[in-house]
Amino acid sequence: MERIARNACFGGWQDVYRHTSAVLGCPMHVAVYLPPQAQQRPVPVLYWLSGLTCTEQNFITKAGAQRYAAEHGIMLVAPDTSPRGDGVADDPAYDLGQGAGFYVNATRAPWAAHYRMYDYVRDELPALIEACLPAGSQRAIAGHSMGGHGALVLALRNPGRYRSVSAFAPIVAPGQVPWGEKAFSAYLGDDRELWQQYDSCKLLASATERLPLLVDQGEADDFLATQLQPERLRAAAAAAGHPLTLRLHPGYDHSYYFIASFIGDHIAHHARALFAAD
């Protein structure tokens, strides 16, 4: 990895790296916060997946997470949300193409050549982080909106890979809302049975690991009724007997003001799991 930016932050370092992804077939940027404890020993890692239109910059500049990561001794890793570049397929709309990878492995042309964010986040990125940086083997995952969808899906489909998971305003049933229907039709085709492998509500029924889910949702979110529908997750978790803490917050919207208000709770949630005795 090539470091292209570095800023001192809460006793540690907020870095941005560039690397060539073999999985995505393009250069990628990834933001990494190294807490001060990383100067003495390997530290656990929290992977953050951002939402539509975001890059690696949104979380590190708006969430205020570094303060809490420094207190707990956790590395934060925030990749870009999709492959990018002149040779990468794109769409004029904000909710498809570059900036809208949806954390799936695309199977349809022209998207399949580059849009394999699921494999990138699950395999290639952590292997790179653990090989190049003082990262321990303890991993957690979180995200917002499209990234919340990605975090839940990755945790539910990969038992034992993550010690904890959380999400802000996640898209919990993408196959039943406009954002997901548009993206999945393009990336995966029209067979809705194939979509279920990226649907948190469907995955809960067959999850073999009972990793507790922490989800925060603002009640003033403009996308609450049309795109997010957290009540679907509540019903699916109850039916499966899966532990879920779903917190609804009056007055809060979909923005990073909401995330900044509760990111400390989420990092504490992950710290309890990451530092629990093996």
Catalytic residues: 145, 221, 254
Retrieve residue 249's tokens.
């917050």
Peptide bond into 110 cis (omega under 30): yes
Residue 79 backbone dihedrals phi, psi, to 5 degrees: -80, 170
Q: 168: which strand partners?
A: 144, 216
CA–CA distances in Å: residue 104 to residues 47, 108, 159 = 16, 12, 18
Separation between Cα atoms, residue 182 and residue 147, nearest integer Å: 16
Retrieve residue 125's tokens.
């990125």
Separation between Cα atoms, residue 16 and residue 29, nearest integer Å: 7
